[in-house]
Chains A and B, each alone.
Chain A
Amino acid sequence: MIELRNVSKTVTSGTELLTILHPLTTTIPRGQFVAVVGPSGSGKSTLLGLLAGLDSPTTGAVVIDGVDITTLSEDELARLRGQKIGFVFQFFHLIPSLTAYENVAVPMELRGRADAGTRAHALLEDVGLTGRAHHYPSQLSGGEQQRVALARALANVPPILLADEPTGNLDSENGRLIMELLTSIHRTRNTTLVLVTHDKELAALADVCIRMRDGRVV
């Protein structure tokens, strides 16, 4: 379960303080599919970053399975992500110097899993990229890169999957494929899925929809 207790984020823009997320309190139960929608700059990605511990809030607490992650150090947060959170970015963020297979294996290797290699191949097979395992990101199309990113996010079977506009950079066919994969994982594994999107059709698939504007839930 994820709890947000009065979480806000303020950044400095030049000499001025700019609140990009106003205090927000909400709870996301285990296994729920939540869509976060809103225009650019509404605070969607900030919210997702705070949920993943990629960023720290200015006020409030983010509690995941009873642990306030705002009290954790950078390295403790890193370990928590490796264990519980899968993240899919709009711009894929694959490591350019690693092959598709290696990109997928990394999270498992970080946790010291002995079956990282075989599982990475299985995950790539799941996302339909068996033949592309030894290609570098620069040799893959956008859709293929996002599928690698998804396989990577699923590597440690995280109970929470966070996706930041995962179809934003893809054509409709590839976008549809990625969404099918995400929803199927949510259904079959009872994974908590938080999806940030512009797409109202995608948002309609969610159990709950959080609409945001100017850093506030509307």
Chain B
Amino acid sequence: MFVLRMAVRETRSSWRRLLFFFICIAVGVGAIVALRSVIQSVRDVFRQEAKSLIAADVIISTNREWTPGARHAIDRRLREAGITTRTDSVETPTMVRPADESKRVSRMVELRAVEQAFPLYGTLELDGGQVYSHALLAHRGALVRPELLTALGIAVGDEIVIGRVPFTIRGVIRNEPGRRVGDFSLGPRVLVDYADLPDTGLLTFGSRVRRVVLVRMPEHVIDAVVKALRSDFKDQFINTRSFRGTDDEIGKDFERAENYLSLVGLVIVILGGIAVSSVTRVFVLQKMHSIAVLKCLGGTSWQIITIYMLQVMTLGLAGSVLGVGLARLAIAAIPYAVQSAPSSLLTEVHYGVTLSAAAQGIGIGVLVSLLFSVVPLLQVRDVKPSLLLRDDAKVPARDWTKITAAVLVSVGLIALTAWQASSLSIGVAVCTGFAALAMVLIGAGRVLVKAIAPLAQAPLFPLRHAVLHLSRPGNQTRVILLAVGLGAFFIVGVRSLQSSLLEEFSLQSAENSPDMFLLDVQPQQSGPMATFLRAPTRSAGNFRLIPVLRARVTGISGRETTIENLEDVRARGSLAREYTVTYRVGLEPNEQIVEGQFWDGPSSEAEVSIERGLHERFQINVGDTVRFDILGRVVNAKVSSVRQVDFRDSRAGGFMFVFRPGVLDDAPHTFIAPLKGPSDVQARARFQHDLVEQFPNVSVIDFREILITVRDVMSKVTLAISVVGGLVLFSGALILVGAVAMTKFQRVYEAAIFKTLGATTTTIGTMLLFEYGVLGMLSGTVGSLGAVALTWGVSRYALDIPWRPFLGEHLMSVGVTAFMVAAIGVASSLDVLRNKPLATLRSE
């Protein structure tokens, strides 16, 4: 009871001093609660909508033409299960243009041809309250996304040409079942009747068509049918999945996102925790006198420790509750933010703080406060009541209780992180990473403080004392370095990476390099295409027609790797994907042989050159034999060389597999053509339009448009990460203000003595400015150095792009951080400058 009463009294008197640190906890808890709540709410809606997300109970799909055998197997399995509700659908990217010849534009779209029964689940929503029925598509009708109307400058009622035939736009799609939010798309959706597709001529051999059978079936047969079909198509390129799979997949995606994002929140909370630890240490130092008095009056160490621990937990709880409030506010703003989102699913979500997220957030806030305050609170045991008579308190050299507590706290933190990430290994990794980063920051800080130590001899009085202050007992140098340094590290790191990537892309889109890709040029079109491109009016630059085939690896027989069948290939992840391959005699300028020898002419023996990544990832070596399925034909090719490809210039030939000419020349293949399109925007649109008009099946990928999309995506990602970095920096600023407030008592006294000895307010102000300026500069430097290391590592190992230092950006960040810290530091110390010396000295 006494302990509780004292905790209330202590909190009453010192909550203001500790406020900033608990706002840090609040910011972190707010981040965790908001992220978890939003993701949980969105996940629930997605889960409820899982069936309509794939628009069926089961989907069977293939990138090849249905073979009679496959159709037969599907029919038989569905018949056996007594299933009758099914519908066919075909998806393919293609170019469309307005039928109106005066509009000389074209656009790549994702075409989907559907039958009467589509959709089996969910509703196809149309703009303007129009109700979907298949009749809208019958007889060459089309439904399109609004983006296409804008891009082509057309309206409902107008005609567009798809392949060889015109379609009338009969409505605008608002929401379509079977299309997931955030799915990568090459262009806006266009929906047509399945029966009209053959007329378009798009189903030519080799074109990128996905054929889908959507099936509706009773719940209890789903698993059995999926299992049976999977075993039927074990060795074929046919994929079967149920809505449950989608549900699981969505569940996993969201869980992963939730856990990773929560870790970011946890980092902020831990930062707050570090602040709690630091403030508790200073707090105990300031309270030594009161602790000695309490001991003198009969209080035991544990009673006193419990008092302060309760106080910390109360404030931790208050901070966490405030965090939940902040999360509520942030979440309340979401419906306004997603109003304009293209997917209506996001607007259907009921956004609010979920109970589990709030409980977790509060639990974490209180736990972190407790964990980080335990070790510094143990100092209470070292305070002797004799302090009231004589100031000779000694601290034992090695305190096993403290060491044990520190170990237990570390274990607790790892457990907390592991809980948040739902993985022990990630928990350990994050904690180790954080500890390593903290140690590097502190170590670098220590080195830098030492490096500027000679300035303590500087003739300038304020500078001399500012430097001395950085290493005085009870200083906040470490905690400020850590908090502000970490914030700077996040922001500068992300910004540098973004600049690096953007520069990389702009390099790629440099003057004379190709900026357009033609896909699906049929062999018989190669001649007319060359003529088309060579026409002077087209102003198309150099072009090449590169033969391409689509191939899949079905087996490997090699020194290190032996894979027998397709199932085992699938187990190797990306090795199972469909590769675009080519054949040619020589190397491209962006290629270099790192192992083996490149052929010098055609051969009737199948030989293949692989990219270095394949060699490293899947241990495929020179001399191994790789079995390919190239459009149904089995090709066993011997690996004769390993190439290093510079993917920055991949449009000249970024192929993972290159075959020796001779074997594939007669296989059915298409051509791709990288070329430099006209530079003028209108000429470019006209060029694409004319090309599509003459070659309706050919798709054009405009690299300039992709670059714009990439820039857009990147700026969004950068913004998101910068917001997180901003939160970290905000916490850093709070810790800074708090740290200044905590050590203010010391400064007020020192300032009073300085003033008594003749220092003016300006001198003391300059001293503060120097002290915080230097501290800010150190934090900025440490953060920038960390960012340099981060960008180097990510560029070198993750993105495989050359590292660029961006010296200017780093120097600017050091300057900005120094300015910010100095401004906040001086602003929070204004009363140190204002206080009258006599009043201060008298009260001491």
Q: Which residues of A contact B (CB under 8 A)?
A: 11, 45-46, 48-49, 52, 54-55, 74-75, 78-83, 87, 89, 93-98, 102, 106-107, 109-112, 138, 152, 156, 164
Please give, as numbers and ranges, the residues of chain B lying within 8 Å of A87 by CB-CB distance: 296
Please give, as numbers and ranges, the residues of chain B lying within 8 Å of A74 by CB-CB distance: 295, 300-301, 381, 384
Flag if B297 contacts A106 (CB, 8 Å): yes
Q: In the complex, which residue of chain B has the Cβ closest to the Cβ of A116? A: B2
Q: In the complex, which residue of chain B has the Cβ closest to the Cβ of A105? A: B5
| Bound: A111/B299 CA distance, A | 9
Interface 9-residue window, one of B9-17, B171-179, B244-252, B610-618: B9-17
Beyond the given pairs A83-B298, A93-B296, 20 more chain A to chain B contacts, judged by CB atoms under 8 angstroms and listed by A's residue number, are A46-B390, A52-B385, A55-B390, A74-B295, A78-B300, A81-B296, A81-B298, A82-B299, A93-B289, A93-B293, A95-B290, A97-B12, A97-B14, A106-B2, A106-B297, A109-B1, A109-B6, A110-B297, A112-B1, A156-B298
Flag if B293 contacts A95 (CB, 8 Å): yes
CB contact under 8 A between A96 and B298, given known A45-B389, A49-B389, A112-B1: no
Is B303 close to A, CB under 8 A? yes
Q: Which residues of B contact A (CB under 8 A)?
A: 1-2, 5-6, 9-10, 12-14, 289-290, 292-303, 381, 384-386, 388-390, 392, 843
Contact of B9 among A81, A89, A98, A164 (CB under 8 A): A98
Contact of B302 among A75, A80, A107, A110 (CB under 8 A): A75
| Bound: A79/B390 CA distance, A | 21
Flag if A78 contacts B299 (CB, 8 Å): yes
Please give, as numbers and ranges, the residues of chain A lying within 8 Å of B5 by CB-CB distance: 109
Flag if A97 contacts B9 (CB, 8 Å): yes
Please give, as numbers and ranges, the residues of chain B lying within 8 Å of A107 by CB-CB distance: 297-298
| Bound: A46/B392 CA distance, A | 13
| Bound: A145/B603 CA distance, A | 105
Flag if B298 contacts A110 (CB, 8 Å): yes
In the complex, what's the smallest C-beta–C-beta distance from B308 to chain A, in angstroms?
12
In the complex, what's the smallest C-beta–C-beta distance from A62 to chain B, in angstroms?
14
Please give, as numbers and ranges, the residues of chain B lying within 8 Å of A11 by CB-CB distance: 392
Flag if A110 contacts B296 (CB, 8 Å): no
Please give, as numbers and ranges, the residues of chain B lying within 8 Å of A97 by CB-CB distance: 9-10, 12-14, 290
Pick 25 A–B contacts, CB within 8 A, sort by A: A45-B389, A46-B390, A52-B296, A74-B301, A74-B384, A75-B301, A75-B302, A78-B299, A79-B298, A81-B297, A81-B298, A82-B298, A82-B299, A97-B10, A97-B290, A98-B9, A98-B13, A102-B9, A106-B2, A106-B6, A110-B2, A110-B297, A111-B298, A112-B2, A152-B297
Nearest 10 A-B pairs (CB), nearest first? A82-B298, A97-B13, A109-B2, A75-B300, A55-B386, A107-B297, A54-B385, A95-B290, A49-B389, A54-B386
| Bound: A52/B389 CA distance, A | 11
Flag if A54 contacts B388 (CB, 8 Å): yes
| Bound: A50/B6 CA distance, A | 28
Flag if B388 contacts A89 (CB, 8 Å): yes
Please give, as numbers and ranges, the residues of chain A lying within 8 Å of B386 by CB-CB distance: 49, 54-55
Please give, as numbers and ranges, the residues of chain B lying within 8 Å of A49 by CB-CB distance: 386, 389-390
| Bound: A81/B295 CA distance, A | 9
Please give, as numbers and ranges, the residues of chain B lying within 8 Å of A83 by CB-CB distance: 298
| Bound: A156/B297 CA distance, A | 10
In the complex, what's the smallest C-beta–C-beta distance from B749 to chain A, in angstroms?
15
| Bound: A110/B296 CA distance, A | 11
Give the one of B1, B2, B289, B392 with max A CB within 10 A: B2
Please give, as numbers and ranges, the residues of chain B lying within 8 Å of A156 by CB-CB distance: 298
Flag if B293 contacts A94 (CB, 8 Å): yes
Please give, as numbers and ranges, the residues of chain A lying within 8 Å of B381 by CB-CB distance: 74
Q: In the complex, which residue of chain B has the Cβ closest to the Cβ of A76? A: B300
In the complex, what's the smallest C-beta–C-beta distance from A76 to chain B, in angstroms?
9
In the complex, what's the smallest C-beta–C-beta distance from B521 to chain A, in angstroms?
83
Flag if B297 contacts A82 (CB, 8 Å): yes
| Bound: A75/B5 CA distance, A | 20
Q: In the complex, which residue of chain A has the Cβ closest to the Cβ of B303? A: A110
| Bound: A74/B10 CA distance, A | 23
Please give, as numbers and ranges, the residues of chain A lying within 8 Å of B388 by CB-CB distance: 54, 89, 93
Q: In the complex, which residue of chain B has the Cβ closest to the Cβ of A20? A: B390
In the complex, what's the smallest C-beta–C-beta distance from A82 to chain B, in angstroms?
2
| Bound: A102/B302 CA distance, A | 20
| Bound: A79/B302 CA distance, A | 12
Flag if A55 contacts B297 (CB, 8 Å): no
Please give, as numbers and ranges, the residues of chain B lying within 8 Å of A46 by CB-CB distance: 389-390
Q: In the complex, which residue of chain B has the Cβ closest to the Cβ of A107? A: B297
In the complex, what's the smallest C-beta–C-beta distance from A202 to chain B, in angstroms?
20
Please give, as numbers and ranges, the residues of chain A lying within 8 Å of B389 by CB-CB distance: 45-46, 48-49, 54-55, 164
| Bound: A52/B297 CA distance, A | 10
Please give, as numbers and ranges, the residues of chain B lying within 8 Å of A152 by CB-CB distance: 297
Please give, as numbers and ranges, the residues of chain B lying within 8 Å of A94 by CB-CB distance: 293
Flag if A110 contacts B290 (CB, 8 Å): no
In the complex, what's the smallest C-beta–C-beta distance from B576 to chain A, in angstroms?
68
| Bound: A11/B386 CA distance, A | 13
| Bound: A74/B843 CA distance, A | 31
CB contact under 8 A between A95 and B294, given known A46-B389, A49-B386, A112-B2: yes
| Bound: A80/B385 CA distance, A | 13
| Bound: A152/B293 CA distance, A | 11
Please give, as numbers and ranges, the residues of chain A lying within 8 Å of B295 by CB-CB distance: 74, 78
| Bound: A138/B839 CA distance, A | 12
In the complex, what's the smallest C-beta–C-beta distance from B297 to chain A, in angstroms?
4
Please give, as numbers and ranges, the residues of chain A lying within 8 Å of B297 by CB-CB distance: 81-82, 106-107, 110, 152
| Bound: A49/B386 CA distance, A | 7
Please give, as numbers and ranges, the residues of chain B lying within 8 Å of A138 by CB-CB distance: 843
Please give, as numbers and ranges, the residues of chain B lying within 8 Å of A111 by CB-CB distance: 298
Give the one of A83, A87, A106, A164 with max B CB within 10 A: A106
Please give, as numbers and ranges, the residues of chain B lying within 8 Å of A164 by CB-CB distance: 389
Please give, as numbers and ranges, the residues of chain B lying within 8 Å of A106 by CB-CB distance: 2, 6, 294, 297, 299
| Bound: A138/B87 CA distance, A | 85
Give the one of A79, A89, A98, A156 with max B CB within 10 A: A98
| Bound: A194/B292 CA distance, A | 21
Please give, as numbers and ranges, the residues of chain A lying within 8 Å of B12 by CB-CB distance: 97
| Bound: A106/B1 CA distance, A | 11
Flag if B300 contacts A79 (CB, 8 Å): yes
In the complex, what's the smallest C-beta–C-beta distance from A36 to chain B, in angstroms?
14
CB contact under 8 A between A96 and B290, given known A54-B388, A164-B389: yes
| Bound: A101/B13 CA distance, A | 15
In the complex, what's the smallest C-beta–C-beta distance from A31 to chain B, in angstroms?
22
In the complex, what's the smallest C-beta–C-beta distance from A17 to chain B, in angstroms?
14
In the complex, what's the smallest C-beta–C-beta distance from A158 to chain B, in angstroms?
10
Q: In the complex, which residue of chain B has the Cβ closest to the Cβ of A99? A: B9
In the complex, what's the smallest C-beta–C-beta distance from A121 to chain B, in angstroms?
16
In the complex, what's the smallest C-beta–C-beta distance from A68 to chain B, in angstroms?
18
Please give, as numbers and ranges, the residues of chain B lying within 8 Å of A93 by CB-CB distance: 289, 292-293, 296, 388
| Bound: A17/B302 CA distance, A | 33
| Bound: A102/B654 CA distance, A | 79
In the complex, what's the smallest C-beta–C-beta distance from B353 to chain A, in angstroms?
35
Please give, as numbers and ranges, the residues of chain A lying within 8 Å of B1 by CB-CB distance: 109, 112
Q: In the complex, which residue of chain B has the Cβ closest to the Cβ of A110? A: B298
Please give, as numbers and ranges, the residues of chain A lying within 8 Å of B843 by CB-CB distance: 138
Please give, as numbers and ranges, the residues of chain A lying within 8 Å of B392 by CB-CB distance: 11
| Bound: A94/B296 CA distance, A | 11
Contact of B299 among A52, A110, A112 (CB under 8 A): A110
In the complex, what's the smallest C-beta–C-beta distance from A72 to chain B, in angstroms?
12
CB contact under 8 A between A54 and B290, given known A46-B389, A109-B1, A138-B843: no
| Bound: A74/B385 CA distance, A | 9
Q: In the complex, which residue of chain B has the Cβ closest to the Cβ of A89? A: B388
Please give, as numbers and ranges, the residues of chain B lying within 8 Å of A45 by CB-CB distance: 389-390
In the complex, what's the smallest C-beta–C-beta distance from A83 to chain B, in angstroms?
7
In the complex, what's the smallest C-beta–C-beta distance from B428 to chain A, in angstroms?
38
| Bound: A110/B294 CA distance, A | 9
In the complex, what's the smallest C-beta–C-beta distance from B821 to chain A, in angstroms?
30
| Bound: A45/B387 CA distance, A | 12
Q: In the complex, which residue of chain A has the Cβ closest to the Cβ of B295? A: A78
Please give, as numbers and ranges, the residues of chain B lying within 8 Å of A52 by CB-CB distance: 296, 385
